[in-house]
């Protein structure tokens, strides 16, 4: 029995090319490929892809958002939050615990106060309200929005300060001329108002049909008047 075991081990070693006298691996494509895999390390690009997937998975399970607050503005306090990719939230009237609860509920994220990360967008918001900035130069992370919503929001972002567009015009711009109502719904879910100026989109007759920010239509009118669109001054009375 012992001799049979030794013979079996020798045959296995010979097949694996582990014995000194073995030459069976020569010319065997399978064994040659195995030797190459065992002898070498994975390509660097493959390692980087694997690490990127791991980081993404860990980020999905425990994302971190960095937040900050603008204590005063013409429309009240404003809180912002940023992911590693960019701005994910601009909220009117929510500050401190209320904003943190909102982030936890909507993003299921760990929130970390970071004046350094939030500083650029807060500074630009201050400049906007002071009439010193027409557009924003901060990365925006729309990864939680659908493809359609992203198309609508990017189109709205092109409407300049002091200008207006209609829901129908946005729908035509994205190649879906019959989607005016859906455009309105997408704008109502704008996660970063003001930075993406959904307040500049109005009904075909020029009426202010709604605004998701705190204060609703009055806030929408207030922002437009601030930008020089005096047509809506009466809506503030």
Q: Give me the DSSP letters along 50-100.
A: HHHHHHHHHHHHS-EEEEEEE---TT--EEEEE-SSSEEEEEES--THHHH
pLDDT at site 225: 94
pLDDT at site 215: 78
| Domain map (residue ranges) of the chain | 2-39, 63-129, 147-236
State which H helix or E strand residue 111 sits in: strand 110-113
Catalytic residue among 65, 70, 198, 202: 198
pLDDT at site 113: 92
pLDDT at site 119: 96
pLDDT at site 102: 81
Q: How far apart are CA 25 and CA 29, in angstroms?
A: 8
pLDDT at site 98: 81
Residues 147, 152, 154, 155, Cα dihedral to 10°: 140
State if pTM tops 0.75: no
Active site residue 198: yes
pLDDT at site 22: 45
pLDDT at site 24: 46
Domain 147-236 has CATH 1.10.10.10: yes
pLDDT at site 188: 92
CA-to-CA dists, residue 47 to 38, 52, 56, 96, 141, angstroms: 16, 9, 14, 41, 26
Q: How far apart are CA 129 and CA 147, in angstroms?
A: 30
Question: Is the distance from CB of 140 to CB of 87 less than 8 angstroms?
Answer: yes
Mean pLDDT by 10 residues, the chain (237 residues): 57 51 52 55 58 53 86 91 95 79 83 94 96 94 94 96 95 95 94 96 90 84 92 77
In CATH, what is the architecture of 63-129? Answer: 2-Layer Sandwich (3.30)
Q: Classify 188 as helix, strand or coil.
A: helix
């Amino acid at each position: 029995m012992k001799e049979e075991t030794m013979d079996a081990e020798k045959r296995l070693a010979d097949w694996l090319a582990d014995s000194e006298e073995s030459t069976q691996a020569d010319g065997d494509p399978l064994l040659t490929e195995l030797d190459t895999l065992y002898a070498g390390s994975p390509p660097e690009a493959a390692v980087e892809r694997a690490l990127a997937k791991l980081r993404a998975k860990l980020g999905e399970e425990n994302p971190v958002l960095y937040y900050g607050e603008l204590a005063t503005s013409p429309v009240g306090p404003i809180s912002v939050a940023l992911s590693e990719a960019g701005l994910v939230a601009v909220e009117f009237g929510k500050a401190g615990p209320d904003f943190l609860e909102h982030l936890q509920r909507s993003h299921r994220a760990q929130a970390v106060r970071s004046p350094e990360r939030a500083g650029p967008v807060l500074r630009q918001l201050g400049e906007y309200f002071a009439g010193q900035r027409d557009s924003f130069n901060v990365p925006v992370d729309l990864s939680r929005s659908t493809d359609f919503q992203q198309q609508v929001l990017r189109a709205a972002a092109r409407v300049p300060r002091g200008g207006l567009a209609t829901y129908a015009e946005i729908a035509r711009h994205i190649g879906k001329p019959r989607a005016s109502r859906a455009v309105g719904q997408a704008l109502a879910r704008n996660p970063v108002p003001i930075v993406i100026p959904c307040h500049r989109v109005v009904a075909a007759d020029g009426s202010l049909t709604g605004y998701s920010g705190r204060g609703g239509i009055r806030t929408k009118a207030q922002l437009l008047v601030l930008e020089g669109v005096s047509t809506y001054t009466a809506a503030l009375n």
